[in-house]
Amino acid sequence: MSGEDSKRLSTGIVVAITVATVVGVLILLVLGYVLCRRRNSYQRTQFENDSDISTTNSSQYDFKTIEVATNNFSSSNKLGEGGFGEVYKGTLSTGTEVAVKRLSKMSGQGTREFRNEAVLVSKLQHRNLVRLLGFCLEGEEKILIYEFVPNKSLDYFLFDPEKQGQLDWSQRYKIIGGIARGILYLHQDSQLTIIHRDLKTSNILLDADMNPKISDFGLSTIFGIDQTQGNTNRIAGTYAYMSPEYALQGQFSMKSDVYSFGVLVLEIISGKKNSNVYQMDETSTAGNLVNNAWRLWRNGSPLELLDPSIGRNNQSNEVTRCIHIALLCVQDNPEDRPMLSTIILMLTSNTISLPVPQLPSFFPRSRPEFEQVSVSESSQSTVKSVSDSICDTTITELEPR
């Protein structure tokens, strides 16, 4: 072999080794990326791809059993109705009282949401979360069976002038703390990281001792390891409780649940619904509840927000602190809102100083993003335009432009 041939051979070997090394490194990088993606999304895909909800820890019931338990879905057993369908009280053959959530065939909540709720709730165990006992999936029937919670939902008491007085301040404060602990469990303390995405008074149930239980996990999202934010082009939920970044951009995170919690706290304190979300005038007493709370806070009279039915027997410092916490929760920038663990410390310790909340921007009266959006009342299935009554509407689907 000549010297020139030997040189060519050596060059070819070097090139071959270099190419093989580069290809090997690229393969390793791709494999590492894929494995990382799989690890981060493992919890999420485990549920989203799980088409067999019979693998849940809850029991599967046949439709005939549910019919008997609810007296053939008798109107006298009906507990309530929402965009998803109807809820009935039932009694199983064992004597156990249950709440039966029957998905309407016309509901915006489809098979994905039903499966999500059935699989998800069966994995959760906390005193401030409603407990799923079983389900029925038979033909077109999609039914969830929950523990029976005798005192209905928070809105049943909170917004009824005849029942508001039954919730004194100590009960309302206990409810605020219980809701916070339930959300903290979803965000940090359960085996899964869960964003509820539809926290509102009608989804807070009250047991015999008026302890709150978070319900309705059809829209909940499971986050993977190290995931802090998600995006969707299918915005669903109740607009009055939505954070700005979720309502306008489809971005959701733990902090979007924190925003909803802040609205809940203001409603619990005031006994009023968050309404007129497009109100621009911050000085108007008829404005949105969040804006009104800010106005009173700036004027140094936050206690004017307090529900008059509570009377004078309340802890003014405690009420003021809760309003302060709520205003921190509804700040425009998600990064400025506290985490639930911090919120609970703020609620339980008077020694922790609270930061000064930032004044929010005010929504204009109308936005093109929300024109021609179909919504349904949470208490009925009729479809309306957003311009009718935005404060009580539940957005079933919204495609941002």
- In angstroms, the CA 144 to CA 136 distance is 6
DSSP 156: H
| Active-site choice (155, 198, 216, 307) | 198
Q: Is 75:55 a contact under the CB 8 Å cutoff?
A: no
- Structure token digits, residue 321: 């602190």
For the chain, what percentages of helix, strand and coil (3-state, to nearest 5) are there? Answer: 45, 15, 40
- In angstroms, the CA 346 to CA 35 distance is 39
Residue 199 has φ and ψ, to the nearest 5°, of -75, 125
CA 269 to chain CA centroid, nearest Å: 20
Does the annotation count 198 as an active-site position? Answer: yes
Closest CA to 235 of 48, 399, 401: 399
3 state DSSP class of 206: strand
Burial of 341-360, coded b for 16+ CB within 10 Å and e otherwise, reads ebbbebbeeeeeeeeebeeb
C-alpha atoms less than 13 angstroms from C-alpha of 2 in its C-beta half-sphere: 3
Q: Is 98:145 a contact under the CB 8 Å cutoff?
A: yes
Catalytic sites, residue numbers: 198
